[in-house]
Every structure is written in structure tokens, then in C-alpha cells.
Amino acid sequence: MLLPVLVSPPGAYLPAVMAALALGVAISVWPVGRVSLARAAAGLAVLSLAADTVAFGKAGLALLWLPFEAVALLVLLERVVRHVPGPRVGLVGGLTGAAVVLLPLRFTLHAPQTGLKESVFLAALAFVPAAGAGGVGLYLRSLDRRRADAVALARREQRLEVARDLHDFVAHEVTGIVLEAQAAQLGGEDGGPVEHRALLHRIEQAGLRALDSMDRTVATLRAADGRTEEPPPTRLYGLADLPELLDRFGSMAAAEVTLSLEEEVAGALSREAEDTAYRVVLEALTNVRRHAPRAGRVGVRAARSAERTVEVSVTDGAPAGPLPRAPREPGGRPGGGTGLAGLAERAVAVGGVLEAGPYGQGWRVSCRLPVSAVR
């Protein structure tokens, strides 16, 4: 863009530099250091508006670089409207939009054959693409917001579910402690020293208070989640249920389904982690059916790793035909849902980590769960 300046008169320096600067700001990845997109766009818009009022020689020189700067400013306007947060988007978007609309003045204000009518007409004409760029930015901003809200809702639901599951797991153990304490007191006066029986009674009362507290906490969580009734108890699934799950999946899919389940993983995970692993496999298989229905093969593997973790992975292979693959979650990729994003939160809650991404010609979902909490 700057090469034509070498054979142009000095008056071409200003429009060429402004066009190159606008293009650089429009295509750069911000922030750069402490300079954010909002600051870069506002600074460029102010420079562009100031350059419109500066006489730089022959006005016709601006026509060579004006289209490039206009396109760069339109791209920048869309990025500003989409990404600049909070109340700053109005100010920065207004400055960038004004730079686009008033850019033709760089020619009409300094050309002897143009006047007020031409300036108003060209400014009104430039308003149309500026409005289009702003509209595209607003639409994409709304999609980003809906996506963020959906992920936040999925994470919140997973947190509530983890809290309810924690109640079930802990309540089971506390109930066992209370029963043991009650059984130890059945000996009556001959059951041991008075201090011993008093200690057992205090253990029993503490356990009952803990159960009451957990019941109240979970009731509050369910009320906050919009649940008015006690949900029926659900079965907890685990790695031992994967063969049945894959049999069902294989009967409905054309892919070759394989399962590698090492014996060392049996009993290595807590009940919470087992349930999380099963849900990750279920969600990954659901995504295969949705986004890669013609995958040639699907492999599920559960094995111990050297880092005292159990890794559960689901990998689908190359498509069996020319059907295009749709982009999938988690993260910000378009076209994905929020299932894996929510399960990633659940995996973190039990001390693990969940990853998903391209793998060879297919896709891979991997979840690593710690083995420290043994059942």
C-alpha cells in the first residue's frame, strides 16, 4: 500500500500513511500490550477526522488510497461494535462511524470542483455501509452474548447438580456414622463407661444436625433453581456401564465402535468422578451423532496414567463420506452447544480437567480425573 508513494509527489504521504495505519489497526489482534481495541480504534478515528481537514496537496491523490481506508474503517467499526465492552462502545463506535461517514470530505473539502452539495451527498452515501457494518457488529455481539449466557447457565446448573450430588454422597456416609453411633449405644447401662455413651450420643446428635443442615441447603438450591418438587432419585452411572452405552450407540450409528477399558480403572475413582466420566462419554457420543453422523469409527478408552489419574477419551475418525463436519464445542466455536462447557465445570469440581479439539481427521474429547479419592 505504501509502495506507490515512492513515485508520487509529497502530497500523497498523508492519505497513504492513513490508509496503511487504518488497515493495520483493523486486522491486528488486540490488545497489544496495554493498548486495547477501544484505544486503538478511538485514536485512529481521531487521526482520520483530523486528516480530513488537512490540505495535503492535490486532492485527487486521496482517491488512490481512499477505498482501502474506507474498507479498513468499516471492518474496524464492526469489530468495535462487537467486542468493545460496556459503555465505551457508544463513544468508540460513534467516533469510528463518524470517521467512515466523513472520510469523503478528505477529497471534497480540498477539490476545487466540489462543494457543500457533493460533500453532503458522499457523506450520506458513506452512511449506508457504515450502518451495515454497525448492524453486523450488533448482530454478532448479540450472538456472543447469548452464547456466553448459555455457557454460564450450563455451568450454574452443573454447580447446582454437583452440590446436590455432594449432599447425596455425604449424607450417605453421615447416615452410616449415625447408625454406627446408635448401634453402639444399644448396650444400655452395661454398654461401657458413662463418658463413652455420652461421646456416642454427641456423635449421633452432630450427625443428625449435619443431615438436617444438608437437607436445608439442598432444598434452598432446588428452590433457587426453580424446582418446586423433590426430583426422583437417579441412578449413578460409572465406567462399568460404558459397554452397555456403547452397545446402544453402536446399534444406532454406522461407525465402527470400539471400547478399551483397562482393569486397573475399576474402583480407582470416587463415585462423583465415575458419574462425571460416564456423562463425558455420553455427551461426546451425542456430539458425534449430531455433528459427525457419518464418522467411520468411534473409539472410547479408559486407562490409568502415570500422573495418578484416569483418562477417559472419546475419539471419532475420518468421515465415511463427503459429508462436511460441523464445528463443535467447547469454547467459542460457532455451532456448538453448552454440554461440554458445563461438564468441564463439573470435571474441575471433582479435581479433574476436560479437553476437546481436533484430532487427526476427527475429533477427540478427553477427561482426566484424579484417583486420590478412592471409593
- Lowest mean pLDDT of 9-13, 150-154, 338-342, name the range: 338-342
pLDDT tier at 346 (50, 70, 90 boundaries)?
confident
Q: Compute the CA torsion angle 239, 269, 364, 145 (nearest 10 deg).
A: 110
- pLDDT for 372 beyond 60: no
The whole-number average pLDDT for the span 150-170 is 76
5-17 tens-digit pLDDT: 888 888 888 899 9
Q: Cβ(302)–Cβ(265) under 8 Å?
A: yes
On the question of pLDDT at 31 being above 70, the answer is yes
pLDDT band at 192 (very low <50, low <70, confident <90, very high): low
What is the average pLDDT across 204-210?
73
Give the range among 167-171, 186-190, 265-269 with minimum mean pLDDT. Answer: 186-190
Q: What is the DSSP letter of 354?
A: E
Average pLDDT over residues 82-110: 93
Name residue 356's beta-bridge partners. Answer: 365
Number of other residues whose CB lies within 10 A of the CB of residue 260: 10
Share of the chain above pLDDT 70, in %: 79
User: Which of these ranges, 169-178, 251-260, 364-373, has the smallest mean pLDDT?
Assistant: 169-178
Computed over every residue of the chain, the mean pLDDT equals 82
Residue 30 has pLDDT above 90, yes or no: yes
Query: What does the buried/exposed string (b/e) look like for 335-372 if buried means 16 or more CB atoms within 10 Å of the residue's CB?
Result: ebbbbbbbbbbbbebbbbebebeeeeebbbbbbbbbbe
Percent of the chain scoring above 90 in pLDDT: 38
Calpha distance 318→321 (Å, rounded):
9
Which residue has better confidence, 2 or 370? 370
pLDDT digits (tens, 9 = 90+) for 299-333: 999 998 877 899 999 999 866 544 344 444 444 33
CA distance linking residue 53 with residue 74, whole number of Å: 20
In this structure, the number of other CB atoms found within 10 A of the CB of residue 189 comes to 7
Residues 229, 219: Cα–Cα separation, whole Å = 10
- Given this model, what pLDDT does residue 230 score? 47
* All three cell numbers of 329: 464445542
Dig out the grid coordinates for 10 from the structure. Answer: 509529497
Looking at residues 34-38, what average pLDDT do you find?
95
| 261: pLDDT strictly greater than 80 | yes
pLDDT score, position 118: 92
**Contact (Cβ atoms closer than 8 angstroms) between residue 329 and residue 337:** yes
Mean pLDDT to the nearest integer, 26-33: 94
pLDDT at 90 over 90: yes
Residue 374 — very low, low, confident or very high, per pLDDT cuts 50/70/90?
A: very low
pLDDT in tens, 215-240: 666 666 666 555 544 444 456 788 98
Q: Residue 321 carries which side chain, given as an amino acid letter? A: G
pLDDT at 204: 72
Q: Are 289 and 251 spatial neighbours (Cβ–Cβ below 8 Å)?
A: no
Query: Measured between alpha carbons, how far is 126 from 53 in angstroms, rounded to an integer?
Result: 18
Q: Which helix (H) or strand (E) holds 257?
A: strand 256-261
Planar angle of CA 21, 19, 6, nearest 5 degrees: 100
Q: What is the pLDDT of residue 20?
A: 94
Asked whether the bond before 358 is cis by omega within 30 degrees of 0, the reply is: no
Mean pLDDT of 160-187: 66
pLDDT for 375 equals 44
pLDDT of residue 223: 64
Q: Quote the pLDDT of residue 178.
A: 67
Q: Counting runs of H as helices and runs of E as strands, what totals does the chain give?
A: 10, 5
Within 13 Å of residue 6, how many CA atoms lie on the same side as its CB? 3
Who has greater pLDDT, 322 or 247?
247
Going by pLDDT thresholds of 50, 70 and 90, the confidence category of residue 344 is confident
- Quick one: pLDDT at residue 336? 45
Residue 302's nearest CA partner among 365, 361, 349 is 365
Residue 247 burial (C-beta neighbours within 10 Å; 0-12, 13-18, 19+): exposed
Residue 353 has φ and ψ, to the nearest 5°, of -150, 145
Which residue from 94, 91, 96 is spatially nearest to 26, judged by alpha carbons?
96
